[in-house]
Amino acid sequence: MNPPKSRGSQLGRGLSALLGNESVDIPQNNNTTGKSTEPQGFSLMPVEFLVQSPLQPRRVFSQEDIDSLAKSIKERGILQPILVRPSAADADEYEIIAGERRWRAAQVAQLHEVPVIIKEMNDEEVLEVALIENIQRADLNVLEEAFGYRRLIDDFNHTQDSLASVLGKSRSHIANTLRLLVLPDGLKKLLAEGAISAGHARALIGAVNPKSIADEIVKRGLNVRQVENMVRSSKEEPKTPRLTLKSTEKDADTLALERSLTDVLGLNVEIDFDGSGGKLSVKYKTLDQLDDIIRRLSDSE
Residues identified as active-site: 100
Bond prior to 39 in cis (omega within 30° of 0): yes
Q: Are 253 and 244 in contact (CB under 8 A)?
A: no
Cα dihedral 129→130→134→137 (10° resolution) = 40
Rounded to the nearest 5 percent, the helix, strand and coil shares of the chain are 50, 10, 40
Please tell me what DSSP assigns to residue 177: H
Q: Are 8 and 168 in contact (CB under 8 A)?
A: yes
With both helix axes pointing from N to C terminus, report the angle between 171-179 and 287-299 in degrees, rounded to the nearest 10.
Answer: 160
| Residue 9: alpha-carbon gap to chain centroid | 21
Q: Are 25 and 41 in contact (CB under 8 A)?
A: no
A 10 A CB-CB count for 44 gives: 19
Report the alpha-carbon distance of residue 51 to residue 228 in Å, rounded: 44
Q: Are 35 and 43 in contact (CB under 8 A)?
A: yes
DSSP strand pairing (113-118 vs 82-86): parallel
Q: Are 288 and 187 in contact (CB under 8 A)?
A: no
Q: Are 97 and 130 in contact (CB under 8 A)?
A: yes
